[in-house]
Structures are given as C-alpha cells and as structure tokens.
C-alpha cells in the first residue's frame, strides 16, 4: 500500500487524464456518498482501465486478476459479506500480521482503516476491476450450503421426493443460485455439461466459457428435471432435443431465459441463454446523443 496518501483527483490531473475543470465539475455534481472514481466514470471522463493503470504505474499499487485466483475460503469469514459488498473488497491472502485485499478503489483510505481496526491486520491493497470483484463476491460469499444434495440417495428416497417444485427445497435453491450467480457475473449463457462421473457447470462470460463448479453425477437428473419444469418441457422425454423459455425476476430485474436440451452419451446437455430485459434498451445519452439531438 502506498505510504503517501495522494488524492485521486490530483493524481489524475497530474497524469493528464482529466482537466482541472473536469475534476471541479465532477466534484460539484456528484452526490456526497458517491466515490470520485465512480463519478468520473459516470461522466465519461476516464475509463476503468485508465484508472487502474494510473494507480498501478503512478503509485505502484499492484493490479490483480481474480479469475482463477487461489482464494483461501477461511478469509471470507475475516472480511464480512456486507462490508465486502458495500466497499467492493475481497480478501486475497494472509501473511503473518498482514492481510492482502483487492479493491476497486485502493485509495479509499477510510475503508482500509476500518478494515485494519476491525481485523487487527495491517492491510496491503491491490486493485481489481469492479466486475471481477462482484463476480468473486457472488461466487464465494453468496454460495449456499447444499450438502444434503451431495449425499447420493437410494431410489426409494428419490421416489418419495416431491421437492422439484418446492421453493425451499435444496435442488430448487441450487438452480436459483446458479441463475442468480450467472446474471450477477453478466454471463450470456449457462451450460450444464454431463460428463462420465460429474456434471460441469460453465458460464459464458465475454465470449469465453468459464468453469463455475462441478457437481456429483447423481444430481444430474434432479437438475435436469427442475429446469424442465421451469421451462414447461416434458420431464419424461430424454431422447430428443427440447426448447423452452423461463421468465423470472432477479434482484427486481426481469430476466428471460431460453432453454435448450440435447441428448448426449452421458445424459442431457442443457444450455440456458440469458436475456436481461432491463438492460436491453439503452438511454439515448449512452448511445452518444445529447439533449439537443
């Protein structure tokens, strides 16, 4: 962490990325509780990548890519979920009395001091993009416990279950959590890929398929049946492809999912295409028009 606490606005002006006038405009327009970096991004004066590069090269704050980072799950108990979500911060590793964290705004010294006082660690900061941090929080903090699903059940137990439509059942919560996580991570598709001994869950993010998790093979039939029920498909048909549609709401946003099933050697592959209806229409100002156009 930089020992000299420079102001972000001064640093950006010195770097030539913004003018003094742009800084003053942003400071006068932004709400009191909005961070300067967020306000500058909102005005379009800088990009997030420019902000990251300034902090990395001017102050020596390291930039970390959180994709496939080897997180220590125990540290997510050190930094509480509400604090992490409110301040966009995730713990990376602990080394003696030092705690390394990734932040979207490592110059938020108040948050750094609050974390130091609450944890007792000396805080070392790195910078990461907001999307990376939000995806990490969604993946590691928002996971529920589905331990009961990982215990393989007897056919008699499965016959007795009518939990595929029970909103409180583990399989329903698991499917809902996967959809919510994919939407939070801005995925365009969810892939349920059956393999010989497991089921691979993959999200398509920015055009690339990324492995989200792997589930035991015995959960495959329950997941498939639950998704088919949601999409109004025939849960007894496994030999031919089917297509359906799910309409739902996640965090008060209308979401449309197109569901396709395809028989494979190891069972039915399912692909869910995500369409966030709330983001389908852009404001004219976001398309480059001003009030006079």
Choice between 159 and 285, residue whose per-residue pLDDT is larger: 285
pLDDT of 137 higher than 70: yes
Choice between 150 and 65, residue whose per-residue pLDDT is larger: 65
Choice between 79 and 150, residue whose per-residue pLDDT is larger: 79
Choice between 124 and 165, residue whose per-residue pLDDT is larger: 124
pLDDT of residue 138: 80
CATH 3.30.450.90, the chain: domain bounds: 146-279
Q: Which tens digit of pLDDT belongs to each residue from 27-71?
A: 888 888 787 877 888 888 888 888 888 878 777 889 998 877 888
pLDDT of 241 higher than 80: yes
The DSSP code sequence of 86-102 is HHTEEEEEEETTEEEEE
* Domain 146-279 fold: Beta-Lactamase (3.30.450)
Q: For residue 76, what is the DSSP state?
A: G
Instruction: Provide the pairing of β-strand 98-103 with 122-127.
Output: parallel
Choice between 285 and 239, residue whose per-residue pLDDT is larger: 239
The pTM (predicted TM-score) of the whole model is 0.50
Cα separation of 274 and 16, whole Å? Answer: 40
Cα torsion at 17, 19, 20, 21 (round to 10°)? -140
Please report which confidence band the pLDDT of residue 16 belongs to, taking 50, 70 and 90 as the band edges.
confident
pLDDT of residue 161: 47
Choice between 247 and 250, residue whose per-residue pLDDT is larger: 247
Architecture of domain 8-137: 2-Layer Sandwich (3.30)
pLDDT of 153 higher than 60: no
CATH 3.30.300.160, the chain: domain bounds: 8-137
pLDDT of residue 157: 45
pLDDT of residue 282: 54
**What strands lie across the sheet with 189-194, from one edge to the other?**
208-216, 198-205, 189-194, 267-276, 253-264, 242-250
Mean pLDDT of the chain: 82
Query: What percentage of the chain carries pLDDT values higher than 90?
Result: 35
Backbone angles phi, psi at 62, to 5 degrees: -70, 145
Helix and strand numbers (H, E) in the chain are 10, 9
Please report which confidence band the pLDDT of residue 292 belongs to, taking 50, 70 and 90 as the band edges.
low
Q: Which tens digit of pLDDT belongs to each residue from 207-218?
A: 999 988 888 898
């Amino acid at each position: 962490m930089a020992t000299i606490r420079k102001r972000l606005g001064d640093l950006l002006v010195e770097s030539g990325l913004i003018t003094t006038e742009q800084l003053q405009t942003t400071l006068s327009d932004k709400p009191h509780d909005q961070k300067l970096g967020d306000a500058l991004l909102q005005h379009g004066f800088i990009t997030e990548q420019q902000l990251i590069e300034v902090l990395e090269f001017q102050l020596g704050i390291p930039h970390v890519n959180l994709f496939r980072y080897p997180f220590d799950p125990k540290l997510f108990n050190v930094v509480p979920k509400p604090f992490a979500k409110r301040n966009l911060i995730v713990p990376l590793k602990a080394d003696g009395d030092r705690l390394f964290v990734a932040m979207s705004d490592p110059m938020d010294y108040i948050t750094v001091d609050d974390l130091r006082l609450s944890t007792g660690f000396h805080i070392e900061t790195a910078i990461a993009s907001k999307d990376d941090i939000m995806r990490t929080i969604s993946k590691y903090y928002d996971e529920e416990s589905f331990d009961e699903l990982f215990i393989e059940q007897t056919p008699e137990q499965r016959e007795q279950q009518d939990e595929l439509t029970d909103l409180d059942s583990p399989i329903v919560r698991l499917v809902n959590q996967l959809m919510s996580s994919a939407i939070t991570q801005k995925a365009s598709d969810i892939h349920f890929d059956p393999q010989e001994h497991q089921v691979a869950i993959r999200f398509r993010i920015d055009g690339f398929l990324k492995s989200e998790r792997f589930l035991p093979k015995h959960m495959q039939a329950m997941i498939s049946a639950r998704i088919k029920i949601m999409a109004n498909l025939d849960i007894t048909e496994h030999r031919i492809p089917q297509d359906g549609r799910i309409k739902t709401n996640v965090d008060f946003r209308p979401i449309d999912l197109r569901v396709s099933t395809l028989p494979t050697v190891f069972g039915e592959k399912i692909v869910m295409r995500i369409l966030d209806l709330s983001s389908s229409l852009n404001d004219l100002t976001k398309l480059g028009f001003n009030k006079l156009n």
